[in-house]
Amino acid sequence: MRNPDIVNEILDFIPKIDYSKTNQLVSLFETTIRYLAGMLSGYDLLNGPAKDLVDHSKIEILKEQSVNLANVLKFAFDTPSGVPHNDVNITSHANDGSKTNGLAVTGTLILEWTRLSDLTGDEQYAKLAEKAQSYLLHPEPSWAQPFPGLVGSNIDINTGEFADAAVSWNGGDDSFYEYLIKMYVYDPKRYGLNKDRWIAAAESSMKHLASHPSTRPDLTFLSTYNNGTFGLNSQHLTCFDGGNFLLAGSVLDREDFSDFGLKLVKACHDTYIETATKIGPESFSWDAKSVPDSQKELFKRAGFYITSGSYILRPEVIESFYYAWRITGEEIYREWIWDAFVAINKNCRTDSGFSGLTDVNAADGGSRIDNQESFLFAEVMKYCYLAFSD
């Protein structure tokens, strides 16, 4: 929004943060995608299109603090395989004792840690993330990849081998697939394998995971798969998938990916417009065998029923609307962004910020969840602003 007062206030505060002190366990994944990514993005933005906003001498603190934070966190990778622990104590260098780490947690560190290496010239950060990622790009044992490119959900921290073959694009797995194609966009020469693995996963998903509700065969969602069984369930988190397919379709000049992405975007849009608040639920299903009596009308009309009705200010649906608008240029997708923004502003806004909702299918959103996630501003408001800033 090009407000130099706010930017300078942030830059004045960041040097005061001591990332080495906390009295609770820290998530390597969440700290990377929120704190490290935020500082690195700010650094690139203020050295690029927003370089006129502040005194250039103040920008370096973003890189310096990124290095400080990475140095605090990097002990998490000190395991027999190089697959990191996620929940760690940065004071004692202990961890929560987990034997496995998740697919998304392990595979969503590569962009930020590589960018830090590229900015500093210190390869150690990229090498740590690449080592962990290598087990995901070359999955073992073979049964952990039931379809080409689609792998299990948990990795043994000691060996780097997969502990299961449960496949999904849902939370816990989602951003591994998201980052595959984004790493190729970041550097096609270095990350060509990531592109190949994304293509394999996407083609397998279109062939095996694409699913259509019996009451709304016009809708397309991605199912899950585990040990021969397809799960007819999805999440708000999963709705990044339409935008991810659209990004890949644009970059790779693959119309089939773009067309499939738009189908996913359309289905996620329906999860918004069919609820009382016009906001989509945390999770939903289209398994006709398990529809609650209280939601049979919703399932008949909308093609899904709600399994968790909360909304915690998530961005994924608006994110995919944004990709659809930018890539197709069709105004309908920007209208969908506006409608979602209006619904969030109406139902979630408070005197001091925004709160989550307990039930998106209640007229008043149920009760309020007294928490405002950072991704409200980092993603929800970002996509809404960018859609209407031109």
Please state, as a whole number, how many other Cβ atoms lie within 10 Å of the Cβ of residue 229.
Answer: 8
How many residues does this entry show for the chain? Answer: 390
- Among this protein's residues, is 78 annotated catalytic? no
Residues 130-136: contacts with CB under 8 Å, at least 24 apart: 131/77, 131/82, 132/77, 132/82, 132/83, 132/84, 132/106, 132/107, 133/106, 133/107, 133/109, 134/160, 135/81, 135/83, 135/106, 135/160, 135/161, 135/162, 136/103, 136/106, 136/107, 136/176
The question of whether 379 is a catalytic residue gets the answer no
Catalytic residue among 178, 241, 282, 319: 282
CATH T-level topology, domain 212-389: Glycosyltransferase (1.50.10)
pLDDT value of position 390: 76
Mean pLDDT of the region 372-389: 97
3-state secondary structure of 123: coil
Residue 223 above 80 pLDDT?
yes
User: What span, in angstroms and rounded, lies between the C-alpha atoms of 159 and 140?
Assistant: 10
pLDDT tens across 236-255, in order?
Answer: 999 999 999 999 999 999 99
The active-site residue, picked from 12, 30, 96, 259, is 30
Q: What is the pLDDT of residues 19-65, one digit of tens each?
A: 999 989 999 999 999 999 999 999 999 999 999 999 888 999 999 99
User: Is 282 annotated as catalytic?
Assistant: yes
Start and end residues for every CATH 1.50.10.10 domain found in the chain:
1-203, 212-389
- How confident is the model over 55-77, as a mean pLDDT? 96
Instruction: Give SS3 for 145.
Output: coil
pLDDT of residue 181: 98
Burial level of 110, CB count in 10 A (0-12/13-18/19+)? buried
Active site residue 335: no
pLDDT at residue number 1: 78
* Residue range 149-204, pLDDT digits in tens: 999 999 999 999 999 999 999 999 999 999 999 999 999 999 999 999 999 999 99
Instruction: Report the chain's mean pLDDT, rounded to a whole number.
Output: 97
The C-alpha torsion from 377 through 257 and 236 to 328, rounded to 10°, is 50
Sign of CA dihedral 160, 244, 174, 383: positive
Residue with structure tokens 């209208």?
A: 335
- Residue 368 and residue 101: Cα distance in Å, rounded? 32
pLDDT confidence of residue 56: 86
| Active-site residue, from 112, 173, 174, 319 | 174
Q: Which of 130, 178, 203, 316 is catalytic?
A: 316
pLDDT of residue 2: 86
Q: What is the pLDDT of residues 346-364, one digit of tens each?
A: 999 999 999 999 999 998 9
Q: What is the pTM of this model?
A: 0.97
Amino acid 193: pLDDT: 98
pLDDT band at 386 (very low <50, low <70, confident <90, very high): very high
Residue in this structure with the two tokens 């999904």, named with its chain if needed: 168
Q: Residue 349: what residue type?
A: R
320 close to 252: Cβ distance less than 8 angstroms: no
Identify the CATH class of 1-203. Answer: mainly alpha
Tens of pLDDT along 79-120? 999 999 999 999 999 999 999 999 999 999 999 999 999 999
